[in-house]
Chains A and B, each alone.
Chain A
């Protein structure tokens, strides 16, 4: 299936831990994004990468570090997790920076 996939789907961890979320797309897109959806369902962009180059970095704490090993992957590493990081994180991709964004199924992160 052609799609944007994320792993894991659920992530439960303790405060202070470091965790990573992986994202892969097989759509042949060159731009990838990370969004955060909070408990009130508000969606906000965090980062975007175009051809492995960081394009958007939206006032996100530097505990969050995206890494794009190639155009098909954009991983999100989070250091020193805090309670407020609990949310659903969505990866998305698009063909170039001026086209429809396709979203992955999301990763629900719960920080205890």
Chain B
């Protein structure tokens, strides 16, 4: 049973466009929702994270939108750049144990 579902699996966007990745979760005990960015041959790196007490968090060109009632959250990459081409993972976590449950990943390709 996949507790965090991520879509789409892949995404192609033109430079300057907006990339949108969606995630849905099932476990209402999750209380921390990070997004990780992974470049080929590298480990995942934390990009931005949100807790369910806020509906939106913005850091530079990256914004998380969070809908607690729908149990959904999304990542928006504004003004996408070729350097943003990577695989993005959403994740969810319960405070106790810090066990990250990852979505399936979205491969983003930004065309110049």
Contacts and interface: CB of A to CB of B under 8 A. Distances in A.
B44 A90 contact: yes
A45 B99 contact: yes
Contacts of A103: 36, 43-45
Contact of B97 (A43, A44, A48, A99): A48
Q: How large is the interface on B (under 10, 10 to 19, 20 to 34, 35 or more residues)?
A: 20 to 34
B89 A99 contact: no
A97 B98 CA distance: 5
Contacts, number: 55
A22 B101 CA distance: 23
Contacts of A106: 41-43
Interface string A11-39: 00000000000000000000100000000
B87 A41 contact: yes
Contacts of B49: 100
B34 A100 contact: yes
A43 B90 CA distance: 11
A98 B89 contact: no
Contacts of B38: 41
A43 B98 contact: no
Nearest to B91: A43
A48 B99 contact: yes
Nearest to B32: A98
Contact of B100 (A42, A45, A96, A105): A45
A104 B87 CA distance: 16
Interface string B15-49: 00000000000000000001010100111111001
A-B CB proximity, top 9 nearest: A103-B43, A97-B98, A43-B102, A41-B105, A103-B44, A98-B95, A105-B43, A100-B46, A90-B43
Interface of B: 34, 36, 38, 41-46, 49, 87, 89, 95-102, 104-105, 107
Interface of A: 4, 31, 40-45, 48, 55-56, 90, 92, 94, 96-106
Given A43-B44, A98-B98, A103-B36, 6 more contacts: A41-B87, A41-B107, A45-B100, A98-B95, A101-B98, A104-B43
